[in-house]
């Protein structure tokens, strides 16, 4: 349940509510909004709301019916806006995070970063740790990749998003990453979710390839309930019987997630389609459907990319997509 405090409630009244929650053996989650404080109560679902309704300063008590609580719109009506390096994800502006699937060399990532920066990109993507289906495929440059990424940050001032695959790596990756990426294959790696949940870094959580929207939100809940409120949801396609595309991009998940949750929603049409020529049309559709940004694989020479070359855009294709998104933003009242 959620306890909504009156807009003029005092600190004493708020601590009275917190005391009661703890006495009942439940866990409070305090959210200080612009207008008022709201307190989420996590634990048993049969707690009597009257226990709180009688406390001074409480305006109302609302039951959250969905299994996901802290990520739900019922818990928080206004959109969550996440600040990263001057960027605000989840606000009026659309953010396009771009870069190669994997960091392949110092020169490769530096050159891509510089070109993308000139195009106006603020957040660079690039995997140092790669979750590959085959153990014989390139697994990423790991620590060396993180070093290159650190250097790129220093040189360009770009923020970076990179994947973390195991709880043991969270500290090391967190020294470089501005945003942790949790990959589709790890969406239900609960120890990993709890570990990033104990940091204060934004986490981009990708939908598992066989996960429902509700399961995605339940995974977000692991991070939020570990006390990290900075979660970004990412639709990246799900597995269906269709064979022409790598995944089936679930466009309906975008407005659905925006309706169910206050968290920002990003679309990854690169993994969502697996085909270069589909990335731009699907990415644009995702923006129209309400996505707060895109995650796009871009490489100087996609035909030479070590991983995911088929779905990777070259610079001219990416630049064209950016200018088309600008026109779309004008039409739908958003900015880029
Ligand atoms: C990636 O972003 O390169 C990646 C591996 O994505 P996903 O986890 O969505 O497959
Ligand atoms: Mn990839």
Res 159 pLDDT > 90: yes
Nearest protein Cα to ligand 1, atom 4: 183
Q: How far is the CA of 284 from the centre of ligand 1 (A)?
A: 19
Confidence of residue 36 (pLDDT cuts 50, 70, 90): confident
Structure confidence at residue 44 (pLDDT): 76
Res 323 pLDDT > 80: yes
Structure confidence at residue 316 (pLDDT): 98
Res 131 pLDDT > 90: yes
Q: Which two tokens stand for residue 52?
A: 């709180």
Ligand 1 atom at minimum distance from 307 CA: 3
The residue that leads in pLDDT, 176 or 38, is 176
Ligand 1 contact via 208 beta carbon (within 6 Å): no
Ligand closest to CA 184: 1
- Least confident range from 21-35, 67-81, 112-126, 151-165: namely 21-35
For residue range 265-291, list pLDDT tens digits in order: 999 999 999 999 999 999 999 999 999
Res 68 pLDDT > 90: yes
For residue range 44-54, list pLDDT tens digits in order: 778 899 999 99
Q: 59: which residues sit within 8 A by CB, 6+ positions away? A: 4, 5, 6, 9, 36
Nearest protein Cα to ligand 1, atom 10: 184
**Strand ranges, E, within the chain:** 2-5, 27-32, 37-42, 58-62, 82-84, 87-89, 95-99, 123-125, 159-163, 179-182, 203-206, 231-235, 265-267, 293-297
Ligand 1 contact via 237 beta carbon (within 6 Å): no
Q: 152: which residues sit within 8 A by CB, 6+ positions away? A: 109, 110, 113, 124, 158, 160
Mean pLDDT in residue range 158-173: 98
Structure confidence at residue 35 (pLDDT): 80
Structure confidence at residue 11 (pLDDT): 94
Q: Alpha-carbon distance 206 to 210, whole Å? A: 11
Ligand 1 contact via 138 beta carbon (within 6 Å): no
pTM of the model: 0.95
Structure confidence at residue 98 (pLDDT): 98
């Amino acid at each position: 349940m959620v306890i909504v405090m009156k807009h003029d409630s005092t600190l004493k009244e708020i601590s009275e509510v917190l005391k009661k929650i703890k006495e009942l053996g439940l866990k409070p989650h305090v959210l200080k909004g612009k207008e008022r404080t709201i307190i989420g109560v996590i634990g048993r679902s049969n707690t009597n709301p009257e226990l709180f309704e009688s406390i001074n300063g409480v305006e109302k008590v609302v039951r959250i019916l969905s299994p996901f609580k802290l990520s739900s719109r019922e818990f928080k009506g206004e959109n969550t806006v996440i600040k990263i390096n001057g960027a605000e994800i989840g606000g009026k502006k659309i953010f396009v995070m771009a870069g190669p699937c994997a960091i392949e060399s110092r020169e490769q990532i530096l050159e891509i970063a510089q070109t993308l920066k000139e195009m106006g990109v603020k957040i660079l993507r690039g995997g140092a740790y790669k979750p590959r289906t085959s153990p014989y495929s390139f697994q990423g440059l790991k620590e060396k990749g993180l070093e290159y990424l650190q250097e790129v940050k220093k040189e360009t001032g770009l923020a970076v998003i990179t994947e973390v695959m195991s709880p043991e790596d969270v500290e090391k990756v967190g020294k470089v990453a501005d945003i942790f990426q949790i990959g589709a294959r790890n969406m239900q790696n609960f120890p990993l979710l709890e570990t990033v949940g104990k940091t204060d870094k934004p986490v981009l959580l990708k939908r598992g390839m066989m996960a429902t929207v509700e399961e995605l939100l339940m995974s977000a809940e692991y991070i939020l309930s570990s006390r990290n409120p900075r979660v970004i949801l990412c639709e990246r396609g799900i597995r269906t019987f269709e064979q022409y595309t790598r995944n089936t991009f679930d466009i309906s998940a975008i407005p659905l997630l925006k309706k169910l949750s206050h968290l920002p929603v990003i679309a990854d049409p690169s993994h969502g389609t697996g085909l270069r020529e589909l990335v731009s049309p699907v990415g644009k559709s995702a923006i129209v459907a309400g996505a707060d940004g895109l995650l796009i694989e871009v490489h100087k020479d996609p035909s030479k990319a070590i991983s995911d070359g088929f779905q990777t855009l070259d610079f001219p294709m990416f630049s064209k997509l950016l200018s088309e998104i600008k026109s779309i933003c004008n039409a739908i009242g958003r900015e880029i």
